[in-house]
Amino acid sequence: MMQEENPCPPMPIKATPYQHQREAFAFSRRMFGLDNGTPLSQGAALLMEMGTGKTITSIAITGALYLKDKIRRVLVVAPLSIVGVWDEEFGKFADFDYTLAVLSGSGTKKADTLRHIRGASLQVAVVNYESAWRLEKEILAWQPDLIIADEGHKIKTHNIAASKALHRIGAKASYRLLLTGTVITNKAIDVFSQYKFLNTAIFGGSFYVWRNRYFDMTGYGNHTPVLKRSMEQDLMRRLHSIAFRATKAECLDLPEMTDIVRYVELESAALRVYRDLVKDSYAELSQSEVTVTNILTRLLRLSQLTGGFIGDDDGNAPQRISTAKQSALEDIIDEAQQEGKKLVIIARFISEINAICKLLDKQGIGYSCIMGGVKDRKEQVSAFQNNPDIQVFVGQIATAGLGITLTAASTMVFYSEDYSMSNFEQAKARIHRVGQKENCTYIYLVAKGTVDEKVLEALRSKADLARTLVDDYRHGLNPFQ
């Protein structure tokens, strides 16, 4: 009688994982030899789309390596807007002992923080890509055992400084994880650099040898690489030999709707302006009748500021004082583009909408837009739904939340919200409706320590925001804090 194969040990996380996350965990254990002691590869790719739980899965893999006494130090490299997510996610989900430091501040301060991470438990350092290559010497001296490249498509270009640094740092580590929606969008040439980080045995260590094997150089001056049809199967076989793939369409156990709160930190100058405005708003309330209208009027100015703009009392165009949310949005757009997915972005203020559209124009990304004053609503919606070149829909929450269908996307970003529960629910329903083939993901950009947190909490809990703020004031509290 055949013996039953040993089941995969439970994931060391404080949550019940979904089936695809368990499968990704088991796959990575096999790659790293945690079940039978023989590693198949020291690097593995988790090709998991937005909303499928790349971070929590990689935390579980990290814990498994640590509990098997394989690693003591972990370096997480991520886009700047995402480094704080790792601190939050480790805090929520890691079911093992660890010490975590986010490297921030000046280069000297980052290096000093890294040197002084202490503790007998697992040590985790989180740093952004730009800083990683600048701190290469200090990172190599710290000797991380596991490197996690989050949004690993950031190193898809083999000869830029960030990629070269990750190749060198990765080569010294015992284990490597690369997290991204997919390593290929329109350009298969992007595969090499990411896999050089993971495992040079897959595609070798020389970009030009690899390129000559898999690609014909065509076009003017022979500068355009085109994948040889005879090599397509070999490329895909090698690529998937160390990769686990999960798409939202395939993950049948995902909830119909998933919420992701992405916290951003206002720049120090913007934060000072914000705090002064909080004090002024509270002082103004004490000199006037405390009504819902008075409180919401002052809250409006604070909400506008968290989106990066501040107006004046003379009706002049709002002045830009922060790009914190826009930087976070850029990373989300980049991730969606990498996955070949359409995206809906919802914002409250015209100044925000204009800035988002300007960003998309600069990046050459096709988009539709509906806000106050737009007449061709049907044409804008139709283009987004049917034209593959229109990748993003930008909508003002008050005018784009009713009567339109945006099911070409399954991910919606709330850049900002207004205070209407009806507008909020109606906006969410634009992608979660008949015709949607995938589970929906909602990403909320929230400026940490600001009224954004109160507004989102009230909307998600279906509380009466205005009543809550008035009650706060009557109990002696500053309703804007």
To which H or E segment does residue 367 belong?
strand 366-370
- Residue 434 is predicted with a pLDDT of 83
- Residue 314 is predicted with a pLDDT of 61
- Shared domain check, 241 and 325: no
Band (3; pLDDT cuts 50, 70, 90): very low
271 assigned to some structural domain? no
- Point out the domain boundary residue: 246, 278, 303: 246
Strands 257-264 and 440-447: parallel
Q: Report the candidate in 244, 265, 248 with the shortest Cα–Cα distance to residue 257.
A: 248
360 assigned to some structural domain? yes
299 assigned to some structural domain? no
Q: Which residue has the higher pLDDT, 332 or 288?
A: 332
Q: What is the DSSP string of 376-441?
A: -HHHHHHHHHH-TTEEEEEEETTTSSSS---TT-SEEEES---S-HHHHHHHHTTTSSTT--S-EE
The reply to whether the predicted model has a pTM over 0.75 is yes
- Point out the domain boundary residue: 246, 274, 294: 246
Strands (E), 79-207: 98-102, 122-128, 146-150, 175-180
Q: Report the candidate in 134, 186, 208 with the shortest Cα–Cα distance to residue 164.
A: 134
To which H or E segment does residue 343 belong?
strand 343-347
408 assigned to some structural domain? yes
- Residue 379's domain spans which residues? 257-264+321-474
- Shared domain check, 347 and 218: no
Task: Reply yes or no on whether the pLDDT at 1 is more than 50.
Answer: no
| CATH assignment of the domain containing 405 | 3.40.50.300
Per-residue pLDDT tens for 170-190?
999 999 999 998 877 668 898
| CATH assignment of the domain containing 126 | 3.40.50.10810
If 0-12 CB within 10 Å is exposed, 13-18 middle and 19+ buried, where does residue 293 land?
exposed
Q: What is the DSSP string of 252-302?
A: TTS-SEEEEEEEE---HHHHHHHHHHHHHHHHHHHTS---HHHHHHHHHHH
Find where tokens 């009504």 sit: 291
416 assigned to some structural domain? yes
Residue-wise burial string across 260-273, b where 16 or more C-beta atoms lie within 10 A, e elsewhere: ebbbbbbeeebbeb
- Residue 437 is predicted with a pLDDT of 86
Task: Reply yes or no on whether the pLDDT at 346 is more than 50.
Answer: yes
What average pLDDT score do residues 156-178 get? 95
DSSP code, position 306: H
What average pLDDT score do residues 240-253 get? 90
- Shared domain check, 138 and 32: yes
- For residues 215 and 277, give the distance between their C-alpha atoms in angstroms, rounded to a whole number: 58
- For residues 33 and 30, give the distance between their C-alpha atoms in angstroms, rounded to a whole number: 5
Residues 367, 360 contacting (CB under 8 angstroms): yes
- Residue 272 is predicted with a pLDDT of 95
What average pLDDT score do residues 110-134 get? 94
What average pLDDT score do residues 9-15 get? 95
- For residues 447 and 452, give the distance between their C-alpha atoms in angstroms, rounded to a whole number: 6
292 assigned to some structural domain? no
- For residues 79 and 262, give the distance between their C-alpha atoms in angstroms, rounded to a whole number: 13
Band (373; pLDDT cuts 50, 70, 90): confident
Per-residue pLDDT tens for 21-58?
999 999 999 999 998 888 999 999 999 998 899 999 99
Residues 75, 127 contacting (CB under 8 angstroms): yes
Identify residue 266 by its one-letter amino acid code: L
- Residue 100 is predicted with a pLDDT of 97
- Shared domain check, 337 and 212: no
- Shared domain check, 329 and 415: yes
Q: Which residue has the higher pLDDT, 67 or 372?
A: 67
Q: Report the candidate in 342, 339, 355 with the shortest Cα–Cα distance to residue 416.
A: 355
- Shared domain check, 193 and 49: yes
347 assigned to some structural domain? yes
In the chain, the N- to C-terminal Cα span, in Å, equals 67
Task: Reply yes or no on whether the pLDDT at 252 is more than 80.
Answer: no
- Shared domain check, 188 and 80: yes
- Residue 376 is predicted with a pLDDT of 87
Residue-wise burial string across 409-418, b where 16 or more C-beta atoms lie within 10 A, e elsewhere: bbbbbbbbbb
Q: Report the candidate in 365, 349, 343 with the shortest Cα–Cα distance to residue 443.
A: 343
List the single range of 51-65, 94-108, 203-217, 285-299 with lowest mean pLDDT: 285-299
Find where tokens 């009713």 sit: 402
Domain count within the chain: 2
281 assigned to some structural domain? no
Band (312; pLDDT cuts 50, 70, 90): low
